[in-house]
Structure 1
Amino acid sequence: MKPIRIVVVDDSLTIRAMIETLLERDRRVEVVGIARHGEEAITMIRREKPDVVTLDVAMPGRDGMMILDEIMDLDPCPVIMLSSLMREGAPIVADAMDRGAAACFNKAMIVREATRFIGLIKDVARGLPPIAMAA
């Protein structure tokens, strides 16, 4: 079985490294690109054709919501939106889902909920229905 190919997009070096480290522990997941900002992400997504993208909401320049819109318009693929603002009932969750996100995950919970985070990536890659909130 081929691994799930992922592009990680976050302006924080610490978060990018943390996500990459968590995902590299699972042989069924392969990080094929890491982007620091939206422009880099779009180029990488077009080139790599990932199965899943993890996308930070708050980034300088074009924020994650703008990048999500661009991904959905030009090169749709499953996107998991990440932010510490992703909490049950938060308007940002509904906005992300309305714009086409496959799921939302609270960035502050990635380490504590690593198993759920990786499971969510696998579910999204398999095309399971969108998940409004995880963690």
Structure 2
Amino acid sequence: MNMLRVLVVDDSLTIRAALEEILQKGGRCRVVGSASSVEEARVMIPALQPDVITLDLALPGEDGMSFLDEISAPLHAPAVVVSSATGPGTEKSAEALKRGAAACFDKSRLIAEGHRLLRAVQLAALDHLRARVAGLERELKLNGVRV
């Protein structure tokens, strides 16, 4: 069985451990790395090639919101924002989604609704894969290849 490779980005060691537990216990996910800052994540992404990134917004140094702008390109792994600022219907959730987040999850609901986070991570990976396949099909068609 193929496992989704997840990179966790959060400055709290406790939250990183909880995310790792939730994602790996739910199956089909393997946390391949954890970073406490954008700078660490930036170095880890090319080396680890995650399928999905969980991203806090409140990070030391560069914040997660500006990092979303950088990693929202189609070739990058999708980001699921996990932040106390991104509860349902919040302004931060809307902004994160506008900047390219695949989904937002309220960090305060992590323990109670970890299954929802796991599902959001899985769907983000699936949607990203579908978009990449569709892009490859379009490229092949443009080059005259039947698909």
TM-score (norm 2): 0.81
One-letter code aligned to 1:17: A
Q: Is the 8 A contact 1:7 1:52 kept in 2?
A: yes
Contact kept, 8 Å, 1:10 with 1:56, in 2: the verdict is yes
Q: Does 1:88 align with 2:88?
A: yes
The one-character-per-residue Cα deviations of 1:88-107 (angstroms, maximum 9, x if unpaired) are 22111111111111000001
Q: Which residue of 1 aligns with 2:102?
A: 102
Structure 1 residues 71 and 41: alpha-carbon distance in aligned structure 2, compared to 1, 3 A threshold: same
Looking at CA atoms only, which structure, 1 or 2, has the larger radius of gyration?
Answer: 2
Deviates more, 1:20-29 or 1:37-46: 20-29
Where does residue 120 of structure 1 map in the other structure?
Answer: 120
Asked if structure 1 preserves the Cα contact closer than 8 Å seen for 2:88 and 2:106, the reply is no
Instruction: Find the aligned partners of 2:94 and 2:14 in 1 and give their Cα distance.
Output: 27
Please say if 1:38 is aligned against 2:41: no
Give CA deviations for 1:22-69 in whole Å, capped at 9, x if unaligned.
122133111011001001001111211111000000011100011111
Within 5 Å, give how 1:18-97 maps onto structure 2. Answer: 18-73=18-73, 76-97=76-97
The structure in which a higher percent of residues are strand is 1
Alpha-carbon distance in structure 2 between the residues aligned to 1:73 and 1:2: 24
> What is the CA–CA distance in structure 2 between the aligned matches of 1:73 and 1:119, rounded to whole Å?
22
Shift, 1:73, TM fit: 4.9
Identity level (%): 44
Structure 2 residues without counterparts, runs of 5 or longer = 131-147
Could you tell me which runs of 5 or more consecutive residues in structure 1 were left unpaired when the two chains were aligned.
130-135
* 1:81-127 Cα shifts (integer Å, max 9, x gaps): 11111122211111111111100000110110011111111111111
TM-score by length of structure 1 reads 0.88
The alpha carbon displacement at 1:74 in A equals 9.2
The answer to which structure has the higher helix fraction is 2
In 2, Cα distance between equivalents of 1:75 and 1:44: 16
| Preserved contact between residue 46 and residue 75 of structure 1 (Cα < 8 Å) | no
The one-letter code of the counterpart of 1:33 is: G
> Cα RMSD over matched residues?
1.8
